[in-house]
Structure 1
Amino acid sequence: MFKRYVYFLLILPIFVALLSCNGKTGDQNKRKQLPNIIYINVDDLGWKDTEVFGSKYYETPNINQLAQEGMTFTRGYASAANCAPSRACLMSGQNTPRHGIYTVANSDRGDSRTRKIIPIQNTTVLKDSVITIAEMLKAIGYNTGTFGKWHLGEDPRTQGFNVNIGGGEQGNPGAKGYFAPYNVPSIGQGPNGENLTERLTTEAISFMEDAKESPFFVYLPYYAVHTPLQTFKKLEEKYTEKGGDEFQHNAKYAGMVETVDTNIGRIMSFLKEKGLEENTLIIFTSDNGGIRDVSFQDPLRAGKGSYYEGGIRVPYIFKWKNVISANTKSIEPITNLDIYPTLKEISGSKVSNTILDGISLLPALKGGELPDRELYFHFPVYLQAYKPKTDQGRDPLFRTRPGSVIIDGEWKLHHFFEDDEYELYNLNEDLGEQHNLASKDPEKTEQLLRKLERWREEVGAPIPVDPNPDYDHEFEAEKIAKLK
C-alpha cells in the first residue's frame, strides 16, 4: 500500500503536466485553425475607381484578380459619408448615434449665417469602453496589427492592437506626406523618397511573417488615396499621356490608385508564397465615397461627405479560398457595420457585452441570401461644400445638412431636419437620385418615415431642433445665388 502511494505521488506531476500540455496543444491547434484576416481600407476610394466597378481610366489588375478569386458586392455601403464616423462604425460595429462620432472635428461646419439650426455636438475619439473588432479578436488569440490611418484617437494600441504603424489622430499624411520624410506618427523615417503606401505594405508583410504561432488580424487602412494628391513622376506621366474622360482624368489620383493596386498585389503574392492563401480572408473596401471634384462616380450623385449614393456607396470584395466561390457577385445590400458580426461568427468569438447593429455576411459569402432589412444613416451635423460647382449637393453651400436616411429595398428616403423636408428615390429606376418622388408617393414616404422614426427612437439618435441665432436668410439666399 505504501509503495503504491509513493508511486502515485511520483507520477502525479507527470500526469498533470501531460494534461496541461494537451490543453495547450488543443488551444494552439484551435488558434492555427482560425483564419487569418486582412482588412484593406482605401481612404476616399470611390465606388467606380477600380476596373472591377467600371473605371476605364484607372488600372487595377491586382484588384481585378482579387475579384476573380472572390466575391464582389455591388450594393455595398459605408455606414457614414466621411472618414472618422465610418471608421468608428467599422471598429465598434455600432451606428453613429451609439458612439457619437458623426464627422471629422467640429459639427458646426460652414458659415454660421447659413445654418438654420444648432447641430449636435460631435465626438472625436472612440471611447476605450467600446469593445473593438481588434479587442474581440485579440481575446481569442489573434495577433493584431494596424498599418496606416487610425483617426479615432491618439493610439490604436489602447483599442486592442498589439502593433501600430502610422496610426494616430490625424486624418491625412500632411503636406508632401506620401513620400519620406513622413509627417505621420509611429512609423519611423525611411529613406528620402520612400512611398508611404509601399512602406505600410512592407510593415504589414513583416508583421505577418512574424505571426507564426497565432492567427493574425491585419488592419490596413492606407492613407491613400486621400488628399493631398501625390504620386510617382513616372505614373503621373503615364496617366497624363493616357488621358481620361469627363468623369475620370486626374493623373495624380490615377497614379495613387495604381500604387495601392500594386501593393495589394504584393500582399496576395506573399500569402501564396508562404502557403497562407487558403486560410486567409481578405476584405477590400473604402471608408466612404470618393471626392467628386477628384473623380466622378456617375451615375451616382455627389461624393464624399454626402448621403446621396456617391458619398456612401463603396466597393467591396471578399476573398477566402475554398470558402467563397471565385468570380461571384452579390447584389445584397451591406455596410461596414456588418464586418464586426461577420468576423465574430467566423472566429467563433463569444463576446456578448456589446451591441452590434449589423448582421453576419457569412450566409451571403457562402452563396446564400441575407434577411431583408433596412439600412440607416444619421448625420445631425453640418459639412460644408468641397467644391460648390461639382459637389452635386442639395445646395451649393453644404455637402450635407443635418438629416437621416433609410434604404429599404430599392427605396431611399432622405429626411432633412432644418425644414422637415423629404426626398424619396427609387434606386432601381433612378440611381442618380434626380427625381424626388416624395410628393408623388406620400404613402411610401410616410411608410419609410415611420420605420426611420422607430429606428431613431431605438438607438437614441439625437435630432437638432434649436434655432441658430446667427442664421441670416437673406445672406444665405444671396450666397447661394452667387454660386449657382
Structure 2
Amino acid sequence: MKFNVAFLFAFCFSLNFCAAQNKRPNILIILIDDMGWRDVGFMGSKYYETPVMDSLAAQGMVFTNAYASAANCAPSRACLMTGKWMPRHGIYTVGNSDRGKSKDRKLIPIANTETLDPGFKTLAQSLKESGYTTCLAGKWHLSNDPVPYGFDVNIGGSHAGNPGSYEPPYKNVNLSGPNTEYLTDLIMDKTIDFVKNTSGEKPFFLYYATYAVHTPIQKVKNLLYKFENKKPWEGQSNKDYATMVSNEDRNIGRLLSTLKDKGILDNTFIIFTSDNGGLNPITFQHPLRAGKGSYFEGGIRVPAAFIWKGKIKPGTRSDLPITNLDVYPTLMNIAHAKSTIEFDGDDLSRYLQTQKISKNLVDRSLYWYFPIYLEGGNKETNDPVFRTRPGEVIRKGNWKLHHYFEDNSLQLYNLKDDIGEKNNLADKFPKKTAELLALLEALDKKTNAPAVSELNKDF
C-alpha cells in the first residue's frame, strides 16, 4: 500500500496547527464601569466587600500604577478597542464637548466624535480574524451595534452609556427573553450561557464590560444587610453603591465558577480593570485627588490585575505605570495574532511572565489630551464649575505635568512623594517642567492633536 507523502504531511501539519490554535488561551476582559482605584479590597478598601475580585487578583499580578487612557467612559473604551490615543480617534467625552454654561467657557472646545470610525480595526476584529469567537457582554458605548466592530455575539451592548434603570424595565438596554431580573444579573446569566455553549474547538474572547457600577445608583436589596451598620472608611460610605459593587463581585464569581466547571479557567488569560476613576461624591479614592472626569489621579488611576495560571506569578504587585492602551498589543502577543497596527501602547506580555522590565517601558511617557469642558467641579478639583477644562497631561517616571489651555498654566507633581497632587512644583523645578512640556508638544504634533485656541464670545 502506497502513502501519499504530501497528503500525509499536509494532514499532520493541519493537526499540529489546530492543536497549536487550541492551546491558545481564552481571553477575558472584565471591565467595571466607574470603579475607582480603591473601590476593591485588593487596593485597600475597608468598606466595599470584594472577596471574589480580591481572590482573582491574588492569582496574578496587580498594578498599583494602572491608568485608564481617559477620565470618562466612551474615550477610554475607544482607546482600549483601538490601541490609540484620544486625538487619533477623536472621541474625547460622552455627548457634546461644550458641557456647562457658555458664559463659563473661555475657549471653544474641539467638537466631540460620538461613534467610533469603522475604519479602525478593533481588538475584537483582530482576535476574530485570528480565529477567536468574540462576545461583548454589557456596555459598548461606541456605536449602535458592536457586531460590525468584530463581535460575533452581543449581549446588551449599544450606544447607551448607562441603563435607564437596573430594575426592569431597563428602558434603553435591549435583551432578549424575559426581563425580570436586576440588569447585571440577567447579563451575567446570558454571559454564562455563551461560555457554556462554546464548543472548545476555537478559543474565545469575552469582553465582559458590565454596566455596573455606573449611575443610576440602585441598591441590590438582598445585599443591603451587609452595609446597614458598617462604618464609613476614607470617604466611602454609600450603602446602595456598596451593594452594586458586592453584586458585581458575586456575578464575577459565577462566571469564574462556570469557567472552572467547564475545565477552561486555567487556560484563560484574564484582565481585570475599570474604564476610569470613581465618581465623586458617590465614592472617594483618597489619598488620590478628585474622581471621574478629572485628570488628577483620582479620575484616571484604576485598579488592574492580570491573571494567567502557570504563566503569571501569583501574588505579585507592580508599581510600573501602565495604561489600558497596553491591552491591545499585549493580547496580540498572547493570542499569537499578527497585526500591522502602530499601537500607542506597549506589549506587556514579556514583563507579565518574567517580571523583567524593558527600557522602553521604563522610559516611555503616558499621555492624555482633552480639548473639552466637563461640568461638575468640586473642592477636590479646586474648580467649582468644571471637573475638566481644556488641557493635556503627561506622566514620565514619577513626574506628572498638567498643562491647561485657557491660561497656559502648568502644574507639576512628583507622584512618588505627593500622590495626592497637593504641591505644585512647576516653579521649583523649571527644567523638569520645560522638559515635560516639550514632550507634550512633541506628542501633540505626533498625534495631530487639534489646537484649542478660539475664544468664546459669550465668556
TM-score category (smaller protein): over 0.9
Q: Is this contact kept in 2: 1:69–1:319, CA < 8 A?
A: yes
Secondary structure, aligned partner of 2:228:
helix
**d(CA) in 2 for partners of 1:87, 1:65:** 26
**d(CA) in 1 for partners of 2:167, 2:6:** 56
**d(CA) in 1 for partners of 2:108, 2:128:** 40
Q: Render the CA deviation track for 1:227-261: whole Å, top value 9, x for unaligned.
A: 00112223224312223235000000000000111
**d(CA) in 2 for partners of 1:190, 1:23:** 47
How far off its partner does 1:301 sit? 0.4
Provide the residue aligned with 1:475 in structure 2.
Answer: none
Provide the residue aligned with 2:367 in structure 1.
Answer: 376
Describe the shift of the 1:108–1:323 C-alpha distance in structure 2 as closer, same or farther (beyond 3 A). Answer: same
- Given candidates 7, 13, 29, the residue that maps to 2:19 is 29
How far off its partner does 1:287 sit? 0.1
**Identity fraction in percent:** 50
Q: Does 1:361 align with 2:361?
A: no
Provide the residue aligned with 1:107 in structure 2.
Answer: 97
Q: Render the CA deviation track for 1:261-311: whole Å, top value 9, x for unaligned.
A: 111111222222221122101110000000011011111000000000000
Q: Is this contact kept in 1: 2:31–2:210, CA < 8 A?
A: yes
**d(CA) in 1 for partners of 2:156, 2:288:** 33
- 2:216 maps to a residue whose letter is P
Secondary structure, aligned partner of 2:136:
strand
Secondary structure, aligned partner of 1:376:
strand
Q: Render the CA deviation track for 1:88-123: whole Å, top value 9, x for unaligned.
A: 000000000000000001011110001011001110
Secondary structure, aligned partner of 2:440:
helix
Q: Does 1:231 align with 2:219?
A: yes
**d(CA) in 1 for partners of 2:440, 2:390:** 15
How far off its partner does 1:350 sit? 1.3
Q: Is this contact kept in 1: 2:234–2:286, CA < 8 A?
A: no
Provide the residue aligned with 2:402 in structure 1.
Answer: 414
Q: Does 1:251 align with 2:239?
A: yes
- 1:34 maps to a residue whose letter is R
Describe the shift of the 1:231–1:85 C-alpha distance in structure 2 as closer, same or farther (beyond 3 A). Answer: same
Secondary structure, aligned partner of 2:229:
helix
Secondary structure, aligned partner of 1:242:
coil
Q: Is this contact kept in 2: 1:394–1:400, CA < 8 A?
A: no
Describe the shift of the 1:307–1:266 C-alpha distance in structure 2 as closer, same or farther (beyond 3 A). Answer: same
**d(CA) in 2 for partners of 1:111, 1:81:** 21
**d(CA) in 2 for partners of 1:382, 1:279:** 44
- 1:456 maps to a residue whose letter is D
- 2:197 maps to a residue whose letter is D
TM-score by length of 1: 0.91
How far off its partner does 1:191 sit? 4.7
Higher Cα Rg: structure 1 or 2?
1
Q: Is this contact kept in 2: 1:182–1:189, CA < 8 A?
A: no
- Given candidates 115, 130, 133, the residue that maps to 2:123 is 133
**d(CA) in 2 for partners of 1:246, 1:71:** 25
- 1:162 maps to a residue whose letter is D
How far off its partner does 1:317 sit? 0.8
Q: Is this contact kept in 2: 1:115–1:468, CA < 8 A?
A: yes
Provide the residue aligned with 2:391 in structure 1.
Answer: 403
How far off its partner does 1:79 sit? 0.2
Q: Is this contact kept in 1: 2:28–2:208, CA < 8 A?
A: yes
Q: Render the CA deviation track for 1:329-380: whole Å, top value 9, x for unaligned.
A: 111100000000000111121121x221000111221122143211000001
Q: Is this contact kept in 2: 1:71–1:324, CA < 8 A?
A: yes
How far off its partner does 1:442 sit? 1.2
220-229 or 181-190: which moved more?
A: 181-190
Q: Render the CA deviation track for 1:153-188: whole Å, top value 9, x for unaligned.
A: 0111010000001000010011xx212333344422
- 1:264 maps to a residue whose letter is I
Q: Is this contact kept in 2: 1:167–1:184, CA < 8 A?
A: no
Q: Is this contact kept in 1: 2:196–2:258, CA < 8 A?
A: no
Provide the residue aligned with 1:260 in structure 2.
Answer: 248
Describe the shift of the 1:418–1:191 C-alpha distance in structure 2 as closer, same or farther (beyond 3 A). Answer: closer
Provide the residue aligned with 1:143 in structure 2.
Answer: 133
Q: Does 1:169 align with 2:159?
A: yes
234-243 or 414-423: which moved more?
A: 234-243
Provide the residue aligned with 1:203 in structure 2.
Answer: 190
How far off its partner does 1:220 sit? 0.4
How far off its partner does 1:457 sit? 0.7
How far off its partner does 1:440 sit? 1.7
335-344 or 238-247: which moved more?
A: 238-247
- 2:297 maps to a residue whose letter is E
Runs of 4+ in structure 1 displaced over 2 angstroms? 15-28, 179-186, 189-192
Unaligned runs of 5+ in 2: none
How far off its partner does 1:202 sit? 2.0
Describe the shift of the 1:374–1:246 C-alpha distance in structure 2 as closer, same or farther (beyond 3 A). Answer: closer
- Given candidates 88, 91, 95, the residue that maps to 2:85 is 95
Provide the residue aligned with 1:316 in structure 2.
Answer: 304
Secondary structure, aligned partner of 1:447:
helix
**d(CA) in 1 for partners of 2:261, 2:177:** 28
Map 1:45-60 → 2, pairs under 5 A? 45-60=35-50
**d(CA) in 1 for partners of 2:336, 2:46:** 41
Q: Render the CA deviation track for 1:419-442: whole Å, top value 9, x for unaligned.
A: 111000011111111111111211
- 2:51 maps to a residue whose letter is P
**d(CA) in 1 for partners of 2:131, 2:154:** 18
Q: Is this contact kept in 1: 2:25–2:335, CA < 8 A?
A: yes
Q: Does 1:325 align with 2:313?
A: yes
**d(CA) in 2 for partners of 1:427, 1:356:** 26
- Given candidates 442, 445, 449, the residue that maps to 1:454 is 442
